[in-house]
């Protein structure tokens, strides 16, 4: 079964076993890839083995059911040196819609650390519905509605909505 919608990742913090810093403390960041989309957190400057981020990374899923998540060091010589990573299936998120859990990351088959991660999923039909409600509550003016009706792409959305296929 495939799902489409908005998938949000919050890498909150990590406890890392692997230290790749040559000098001083590591400055880790977390990167997530879903399909061909990639996003990353801000760098936890001098976060060392216990970085904290709590940054929200949003993705639009069109049937994908797994992601690649990794923690990297923003080093002087190597700006994106892998500390650890893993492939993560998010099938369970589609039924629960919000999960917070600790996942292990690996480097060359060895545990490189733990990552506290929050995942949230909003199905496409709920996204469309909330967007339409926002437009209705802000009150599209008549001239804005005419602009939408004149756009070939948007007129399909209006026609579909009028037929009751989008709620």
- The b-or-e profile of 86-97 (16+ CB within 10 A means b, else e) is bebebeebbeee
Give the DSSP H/E element, type plus range, for residue 152: helix 152-162
Non-local CB neighbours of 62 within 8 Å, separated by 6+ positions: 4, 35
| H or E, element range at 31 | strand 28-34
**Per-residue confidence (pLDDT) for residue 52, from 0 to 100:** 97
Q: What domains can be seen in the chain, in order of their start residue?
A: 4-123 (2.60.40.150), 125-162 (no CATH)
What percentage of the chain carries pLDDT values higher than 70?
A: 70
pLDDT digits (tens, 9 = 90+) for 13-59: 999 999 999 888 999 999 999 999 999 999 999 999 999 998 999 99
pLDDT at 103 > cutoff 90: yes
Residue 84 CB burial class (10 angstroms; 0-12, 13-18, ≥19): buried
Q: What does the mean pLDDT of the chain come to? A: 79
CA atoms within a 13 Å half-sphere pointing along the CA-CB vector of 55: 15
């Amino acid at each position: 079964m495939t799902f489409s919608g908005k998938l949000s990742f919050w890498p909150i913090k990590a406890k890392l076993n692997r230290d790749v810093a040559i000098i001083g403390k590591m400055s880790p960041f977390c990167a997530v890839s879903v399909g061909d989309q990639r996003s990353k957190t801000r760098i936890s400057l001098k976060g060392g083995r216990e970085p904290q981020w709590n940054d929200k990374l949003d993705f639009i899923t069109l049937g994908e059911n797994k992601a690649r998540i990794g923690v990297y060091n923003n080093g002087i010589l190597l700006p994106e040196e892998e500390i650890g990573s893993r492939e993560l299936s998010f099938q369970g998120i589609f039924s629960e819609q919000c999960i917070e859990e600790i996942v292990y990351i690996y480097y060359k088959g060895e545990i490189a650390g733990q990552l506290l991660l929050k995942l949230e999923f909003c199905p496409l039909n709920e996204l469309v519905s909330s967007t339409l409600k926002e437009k209705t509550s802000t009150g599209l003016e008549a001239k804005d509605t005419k602009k939408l009706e004149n756009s070939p792409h948007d007129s399909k959305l209006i026609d579909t909505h009028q037929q009751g296929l989008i709620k």
